[in-house]
Amino acid sequence: MIRGPGRRFTVVFVVLTLLALGLQFLVTGAIWGHPSQETIASALFSILMVSWMLSSTRWRGGFKIFKMTAPWLVVLFILFSGYVYRHELSGVGQRLLAAFLPHAGVESKPGSMQFVRADDGHFHIQARINGVGVSFLADTGASDIILDRKTASRIGIDLDRLQFSKVYETANGRVRGAPVLLDEFTLGSLVFRRLPASINESNMDQPLLGMAFFNRLQGFEVQKDRLTIRWTAR
């Protein structure tokens, strides 16, 4: 029979091994092969049973070890439960995020992102240009990506070198725009480099994300109050 420090070391080793296996499962999705939800539940039950046995062991360090491992076992229980119900919980999380930040979008899987219609009836899309956050109004009626002067200055474009050589027909009449190339346009994991855009000569309420963006996608669709964009994930 193992006594004293040797016994304590053995118990700690067993507990840490179980915790390591649990963490490995959480990282890789499997320990050996691809376990079912029943296997996951059995593994969790085994860990909890070992914890109970350790807490019931009549030796001076048993309760101390239980106190040390109990919080981690609770964390593992929560993480295992989250993994088992990951699909159901992901939908809830996406809806909550969309409710608070509709312009941020939710990338539920690689190559797909959803946006929720805002209270003003439009879709607003938060992107980053050259590392600077820019909020766009999605406008499939616009041919180009159109920025205002203030936004252009924020992303590092030299306004003094702009040449307003393009003419646009709008509801407010003709306006001129200066063609530019955006060095880096980022939206979630989607990245476009050297993306053509235009700087509007007149004032604008918000930059427009027109068909010059949407035509580069694999596809997009609007269903009820959700805009979904898709691209080829790399």
Q: Is the pLDDT of residue 55 over 90?
A: no
What is the tens place of the pLDDT at every residue in 198-229? Answer: 999 988 889 999 999 999 999 999 998 899 99
What is the tens place of the pLDDT at every residue in 150-159? Answer: 999 999 999 9
Does residue 19 belong to any structural domain of this protein?
Answer: yes
Domains held by the chain: number: 2
Average pLDDT over residues 65-77: 64
Final residue of a structural domain among 26, 58, 84: 84
Does residue 64 belong to any structural domain of this protein?
Answer: yes
| Single-letter amino acid code for the residue at 20 | A
Q: What's the Cα-to-Cα distance from 63 to each of 46, 59, 138, rounded to whole Å?
A: 19, 8, 60
Are 18 and 125 in the same domain?
no
| End-to-end alpha carbon distance in the chain | 57
Are 141 and 225 in the same domain?
yes
What is the tens place of the pLDDT at every residue in 140-193? Answer: 989 999 999 999 999 999 999 999 999 988 777 888 999 999 999 999 899 999
Residues ≥6 apart with Cβ < 8 Å to 136: 124, 125, 126, 127, 145, 206, 207, 208, 209
Are 126 and 154 in the same domain?
yes
Residue numbers of the domain that contains 26: 4-84
Tokens 């203030």 correspond to: 150
**144 close to 216: Cβ distance less than 8 angstroms:** no
Q: Is the pLDDT of residue 13 over 80?
A: no
Are 78 and 13 in the same domain?
yes
Are 110 and 204 in the same domain?
yes
Q: For residues 104 and 119, what is the distance between their CA atoms, to the nearest angstrom?
A: 15
Does residue 90 belong to any structural domain of this protein?
Answer: no
Q: For residues 152 and 31, what is the distance between their CA atoms, to the nearest angstrom?
A: 51
Does residue 18 belong to any structural domain of this protein?
Answer: yes
Final residue of a structural domain among 84, 117, 146: 84
Residue 205, pLDDT score: 87
Does residue 93 belong to any structural domain of this protein?
Answer: no
**pTM across the whole model:** 0.57
Percent of the chain residues topping a pLDDT of 90: 41
Q: What's the Cα-to-Cα distance from 228 to each of 13, 126, 135, 174, 218, rounded to whole Å?
A: 49, 14, 17, 31, 11
Are 209 and 158 in the same domain?
yes
Residues ≥6 apart with Cβ < 8 Å to 52: none
**165 close to 175: Cβ distance less than 8 angstroms:** no
> Strand 173-187 and strand 226-230: pairing?
unpaired
> What CATH number is attached to the domain comprising 110?
2.40.70.10
Final residue of a structural domain among 84, 110, 135: 84
What is the tens place of the pLDDT at every residue in 24-33? Answer: 554 444 444 4
| CB burial of residue 112 (10 Å; 0-12, 13-18, 19+) | middle
Higher pLDDT, 133 or 97: 133
